[in-house]
Structure 1
Amino acid sequence: MKKRFVLPLIAISVFFQSYGQSTIDTSKYKDASLSVEERVEALLPLLSLDEKVAQMRIFHANIGVKADDKGNLNLSKKVLKKLELGIAGIKNPGEHLDAVDAAKFNNKLQKYIIEHNRWGIPALFVTESYNGVDAEGCTIFGRPLTSAASFNPSLVNRVWDVVGKEARLRGMHMCHSPEADLVRDPRFGRMSEAFGEDTYLTTQMVTNAIKGVQGNYEGLGKGTHIGAVAKHFAGYGQVLGGTNFAAIEISERTLIDEIYPPFEAAVKDAKSLGIMASHGDLNGVASHGNPALLTGVLRDQWNFKGYVVSDANDIGRLHYFMKVAETPEAATQMGLEAGVDIDLYAEDAYALLPEMVKKNPALEKLIDRSVRRVLRTKFILGLFDQPYIKIKEVKKGVRAKSSLELAKEADLESIILLKNKMNTLPLDSKKATKIALLGPLVKENTQAMFESVVGNKIKFLTKKGFNLTDGKGGNPKLLNTDSAVIDDMVALAKQADVAVLFVGGDEFTSKEAFFTNAIGDRATIDPVGAQDELVKRVKALGKPVIVVLKHRRTLSINTISEQADAILDTWDLSEFGDQSTAKIIFGEVSPSGKLPVTVPRSIGQLPYHYSMKEINYKKGYLFLKEGPLYPFGYGLSYASFDYSDLKISNNEITPTSEIEVSVTVKNTGKVKAKEVVQMYIKDQIGSVTRPDKELKAFDKIELNPGESKEVTFKVTPEMLAFTGIKMEKTLESGDYTLMVGTSSKEYLETTFKLKK
Structure 2
Amino acid sequence: MKQFSKFVLIAIIAIFLSCESEGELTIDGADQSTKIDDKVNELLSKMSIEEKVAQMRIFHATIGVKSDENGSLLLSDRVKEKLKLGIAGIKNPGEHISPLAAAKLNNELQKYIIDNNRWGIPALFVTESYNGVDAEGCTKFGRPLTSAASFNTDLVNRIWDVVGKEARLRGMHMCHSPEADIVRDPRFGRMSEAFGEDTYLTTQMVTNAIKGVQGDYEGLGAGTHIGAVAKHFAGYGQVLGGRNFAAVEISPRTLIDEIYPPFEAAVKDARTLGIMASHGDLNGIASHGNPDLLTSVLRDEWGFDGYLVSDSNDIARLFYFMKVAESPEAAALMGLEAGIDVDLYAEDSYALLPKMVEENPEIEKLIDQAVRRVLRTKYILGLFDNPYIDLDKVNKGVRAESSLALAKEADLESIILLKNDNQILPLNKNKPTKIALLGPLLSEHTKTAFESVAGSNITFMAAKGFSLTDEKKGVPSLLEKNPTAISKMINIARQSDLVVLYLGGDEHTAKEAYFNNALGDRATIEPVGQQNELVTKIKALGKPVIVVLKHRRTLSINTIAQQADAILDIWDLSEFGDESTAKIIFGEVSPSGKLPVTVPRSIGQFPFHYSQKEINYKKGYLFLEEGPLYPFGFGLSYTTFEYSDLSISNAELTPETEISVSVSITNTGSVKAKEIVQLYIKDEIRSVSPPNKELKGFKKIALDPGETKTVSFSVTPKMLEFTGKEMTKVLEEGDYTVMVGSSSIQGLSGTFRLNN
1:451 Cα deviation after fit? 1.2
Aligned to 2:470: 470
Q: Distance in 1 between matches of 2:430 and 2:369?
A: 69
The superposition leaves residues 604-652 of structure 1 with CA deviations (integer Å, 9 ceiling, x where unpaired) of 0011100000000000000000000000000000010000000000000
Aligned to 1:703: 703
The superposition leaves residues 430-468 of structure 1 with CA deviations (integer Å, 9 ceiling, x where unpaired) of 335110000001001101111121233211000000000
1:74 Cα deviation after fit? 1.0
Structure 2: tracts of 5 or more residues without a match: 1-16
The answer on 1:498 being equivalent to 2:498 is yes
Q: CA RMSD in A?
A: 1.2
Aligned to 2:26: 27
**Does the aligned pair in 2 maintain the 1:432–1:498 contact within 8 Å?**
no
Q: Distance in 2 between matches of 1:100 and 1:455?
A: 37
Aligned to 2:583: 583
Q: Distance in 2 between matches of 1:415 and 1:523?
A: 27
SS at match of 1:570: strand
Aligned to 1:716: 716
Q: Which residues in structure 2 correspond to 1:9-20 (within 5 Å)?
A: none
Aligned to 1:659: 659
Residues 99 and 25 of structure 1: CA distance in aligned 2, closer, same or farther (over 3 Å): closer
1:702 Cα deviation after fit? 0.2
Aligned to 1:70: 70
The answer on 1:434 being equivalent to 2:434 is yes
Q: Which amino acid aligns with 1:47?
A: M
Q: Distance in 1 between matches of 2:34 and 2:111?
A: 24
SS at match of 1:657: coil
Aligned to 1:8: none
Q: Distance in 2 between matches of 1:493 and 1:28?
A: 69
Q: Which amino acid aligns with 1:670?
A: S
SS at match of 1:735: strand
Q: Distance in 2 between matches of 1:568 and 1:257?
A: 33
Q: Distance in 2 between matches of 1:528 and 1:556?
A: 11
Aligned to 2:8: none
Aligned to 2:107: 107
The answer on 1:121 being equivalent to 2:121 is yes
Q: Which residues in structure 2 correspond to 1:559-578 (within 5 Å)?
A: 559-578=559-578
**Does the aligned pair in 2 maintain the 1:113–1:122 contact within 8 Å?**
yes
**Does the aligned pair in 2 maintain the 1:435–1:499 contact within 8 Å?**
yes
Q: Distance in 1 between matches of 2:33 and 2:450?
A: 56
1:725 Cα deviation after fit? 1.1
The alignment's TM-score, normalised by the length of structure 2, stands at 0.97
Which moves more between the two structures, 110-119 or 478-487?
Answer: 478-487
Residues 189 and 432 of structure 1: CA distance in aligned 2, closer, same or farther (over 3 Å): farther
Q: Distance in 1 between matches of 2:22 and 2:91?
A: 37
Moved over 2 A (4+): 22-33, 429-432
1:482 Cα deviation after fit? 1.3
1:428 Cα deviation after fit? 1.1
Q: Which amino acid aligns with 1:716?
A: T
The superposition leaves residues 308-360 of structure 1 with CA deviations (integer Å, 9 ceiling, x where unpaired) of 00000000000000000000000000000000000000000000000000000
Q: Distance in 2 between matches of 1:24 and 1:511?
A: 50
1:524 Cα deviation after fit? 0.2
Q: Distance in 1 between matches of 2:528 and 2:639?
A: 33
SS at match of 1:318: helix
Aligned to 2:175: 175
Q: Distance in 1 between matches of 2:81 and 2:716?
A: 57
Q: Distance in 1 between matches of 2:528 and 2:654?
A: 52
Q: Which residues in structure 2 correspond to 1:381-400 (within 5 Å)?
A: 381-400=381-400
1:536 Cα deviation after fit? 0.4
Q: Paired residues, what number? A: 737
Aligned to 1:290: 290
The superposition leaves residues 160-207 of structure 1 with CA deviations (integer Å, 9 ceiling, x where unpaired) of 000000000000000000000000000000000000000000000000
Q: Distance in 2 between matches of 1:274 and 1:688?
A: 34
SS at match of 1:513: coil
Aligned to 2:546: 546
SS at match of 1:212: helix
**Does the aligned pair in 2 maintain the 1:29–1:40 contact within 8 Å?**
no
Aligned to 1:341: 341
1:473 Cα deviation after fit? 1.0
1:282 Cα deviation after fit? 1.1
Residues 754 and 390 of structure 1: CA distance in aligned 2, closer, same or farther (over 3 Å): same
Aligned to 1:5: none
The sequence identity of aligned pairs, in percent, is 73
**Does the aligned pair in 2 maintain the 1:29–1:38 contact within 8 Å?**
no
SS at match of 2:85: coil
1:25 Cα deviation after fit? 9.3
Q: Distance in 1 between matches of 2:352 and 2:400?
A: 45
Q: Distance in 1 between matches of 2:26 and 2:96?
A: 37
Q: Distance in 1 between matches of 2:480 and 2:416?
A: 30
Aligned to 1:134: 134
SS at match of 2:294: helix
Aligned to 1:19: none
1:37 Cα deviation after fit? 1.3
Q: Distance in 2 between matches of 1:672 and 1:34?
A: 56
Q: Distance in 2 between matches of 1:182 and 1:212?
A: 20
Q: Distance in 2 between matches of 1:582 and 1:484?
A: 28
Q: Distance in 2 between matches of 1:61 and 1:709?
A: 53
Q: Distance in 2 between matches of 1:630 and 1:306?
A: 40
Q: Distance in 2 between matches of 1:576 and 1:388?
A: 32
1:30 Cα deviation after fit? 5.5
1:34 Cα deviation after fit? 1.6
Q: Which amino acid aligns with 1:635?
A: G
Q: Distance in 2 between matches of 1:145 and 1:546?
A: 23
**Does the aligned pair in 1 maintain the 2:63–2:79 contact within 8 Å?**
yes
The superposition leaves residues 21-70 of structure 1 with CA deviations (integer Å, 9 ceiling, x where unpaired) of x9999435554432211211111111110000000000000000010111
The superposition leaves residues 451-509 of structure 1 with CA deviations (integer Å, 9 ceiling, x where unpaired) of 12123321100000000011111000011231111011011011111100000001000
Q: Distance in 1 between matches of 2:42 and 2:713?
A: 49
Residues 188 and 750 of structure 1: CA distance in aligned 2, closer, same or farther (over 3 Å): same
The alignment's TM-score, normalised by the length of structure 1, stands at 0.97
Aligned to 1:164: 164
Aligned to 2:604: 604
1:134 Cα deviation after fit? 0.2
**Does the aligned pair in 2 maintain the 1:26–1:46 contact within 8 Å?**
no
Q: Distance in 2 between matches of 1:358 and 1:116?
A: 26
Aligned to 2:485: 485
Structure 1: tracts of 5 or more residues without a match: 1-12, 17-21
SS at match of 2:70: coil
Aligned to 2:679: 679
Aligned to 2:412: 412
The superposition leaves residues 145-164 of structure 1 with CA deviations (integer Å, 9 ceiling, x where unpaired) of 00000000000000000000
Aligned to 1:98: 98
SS at match of 2:131: coil
Residues 522 and 28 of structure 1: CA distance in aligned 2, closer, same or farther (over 3 Å): closer
Aligned to 2:357: 357
**Does the aligned pair in 2 maintain the 1:181–1:237 contact within 8 Å?**
yes
Q: Distance in 2 between matches of 1:468 and 1:28?
A: 56
Q: Distance in 1 between matches of 2:109 and 2:601?
A: 52
SS at match of 2:66: strand
Q: Which residues in structure 2 correspond to 1:196-595 (within 5 Å)?
A: 196-431=196-431, 433-595=433-595
**Does the aligned pair in 2 maintain the 1:466–1:481 contact within 8 Å?**
no
Aligned to 2:623: 623
SS at match of 1:46: coil
Residues 432 and 320 of structure 1: CA distance in aligned 2, closer, same or farther (over 3 Å): farther
SS at match of 2:267: helix
**Does the aligned pair in 2 maintain the 1:143–1:573 contact within 8 Å?**
yes
